[in-house]
């Protein structure tokens, strides 16, 4: 009979085997969707385009770090199925938080990179960046040539004082919060203030990108436009009675 100790050992082995690396980046035109990759069965069989080459480089770096599983939301989510898309959006914070590492490709940062380049990266202005950055335990930044940012080859860029100091200055979040963030660490108004400085291609993403760090249970519905933020605030007020967020 399998004992509780045996089950725990099996679970640890499974978790270790299925450790995965996440990919964060600025979309560049025709990113490969789930259907394209599903048809050819491998990213190596995709046409030679910059977005596809970016995906292949991500897979190469993941393998170089010693991991076998890689996740990119451009092609790992079947966006044609609303139920799958909604589930992925509501669980995105946990998906990043539970990853063994996240690789960030800074397409606009030239090589060799220099201190201060993060402030000029479009990645820093994306609505989803705040959630991704704060939820991560381990992060690696790469410049446009897929070289480590500032030449840092350490085990975690969140452990590099120079990089963390630069991040803190750019997003106006204390260094300690960047390193050890939990959703309870910041008040609702502070989270909304941080999010207000970011841009989104799709209007609803202003609200949906906050689902994880605000611990909200709103259901994404693309098509509701600006009402999405209203629904998020409504849920926050109902749960916390913090009506000051409406200001």
The predicted structure's pLDDT at residue 89 = 85
Taking the C-alpha atoms of residue 125 and residue 181, their distance in angstroms, rounded to an integer, is: 19
Radius of gyration of the chain (CA): 19
Q: What is the end-to-end Cα distance of the chain in Å, rounded? A: 60
Tell me which DSSP letter residue 199 carries: B
Domain ranges of the chain: 20-181
Q: How many CB atoms lie within 10 A of CB 89?
A: 23
Taking the C-alpha atoms of residue 242 and residue 228, their distance in angstroms, rounded to an integer, is: 18
The predicted structure's pLDDT at residue 156 = 96
3-state secondary structure of 240: helix
Nearest CA to 240 out of 202, 203, 188 is that of: 188
Determine contact, residues 212/94, Cβ cutoff 8 Å: yes
The predicted structure's pLDDT at residue 206 = 87
The predicted structure's pLDDT at residue 2 = 52
The predicted structure's pLDDT at residue 9 = 64
**Interval 223-247: pLDDT, tens:** 888 888 888 888 888 776 666 666 6
Spell out, as residue ranges, where the chain has pLDDT lower than 70. Answer: 1-17, 240-247
Q: For tokens 């599903």, name the residue.
A: 38
The predicted structure's pLDDT at residue 242 = 66
Q: How many CB atoms lie within 10 A of CB 104?
A: 23
Q: Tell me if the pTM is above 0.85.
A: yes
3-state secondary structure of 159: helix
Determine contact, residues 74/33, Cβ cutoff 8 Å: yes
Q: What are phi and psi of 104, to 5 degrees?
A: -110, 120
Q: What residue spans of 112-187 are helical by DSSP H? A: 129-135, 161-171, 175-180
The predicted structure's pLDDT at residue 117 = 96
């Amino acid at each position: 009979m399998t004992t509780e100790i045996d089950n725990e050992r099996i679970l640890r082995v499974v978790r270790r085997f299925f450790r995965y690396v996440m990919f964060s980046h600025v979309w560049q035109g025709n990113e490969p969707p789930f259907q394209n990759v599903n048809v050819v069965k491998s990213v190596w069989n995709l046409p030679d385009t910059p977005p596809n080459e970016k995906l292949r480089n991500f897979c190469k770096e993941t393998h170089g770090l010693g991991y076998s599983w890689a996740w990119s939301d451009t092609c790992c989510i079947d966006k044609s199925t609303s139920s799958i898309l909604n589930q992925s959006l509501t669980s995105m914070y946990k998906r990043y938080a539970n990853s063994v590492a996240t690789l960030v490709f800074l397409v606009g940062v030239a090589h060799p990179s220099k201190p201060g380049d993060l402030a000029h990266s479009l990645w820093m202005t994306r609505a989803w960046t705040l959630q991704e950055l704060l939820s991560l335990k381990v992060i690696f930044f790469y410049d446009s040539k897929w070289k480590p940012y500032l030449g840092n080859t350490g085990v975690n860029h969140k452990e590099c004082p120079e990089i963390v100091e630069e991040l803190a200055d750019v997003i106006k979040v204390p260094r300690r919060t960047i390193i050890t963030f939990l959703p309870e660490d910041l008040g609702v108004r502070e989270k909304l203030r941080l999010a207000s400085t970011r841009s989104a291609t799709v209007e609803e993403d202003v609200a949906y990108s906050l689902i994880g760090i605000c611990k909200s249970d709103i259901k994404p519905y693309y098509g509701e436009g600006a009402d999405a933020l209203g629904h998020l605030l409504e849920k926050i007020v109902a749960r916390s009675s913090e009506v000051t967020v409406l200001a």
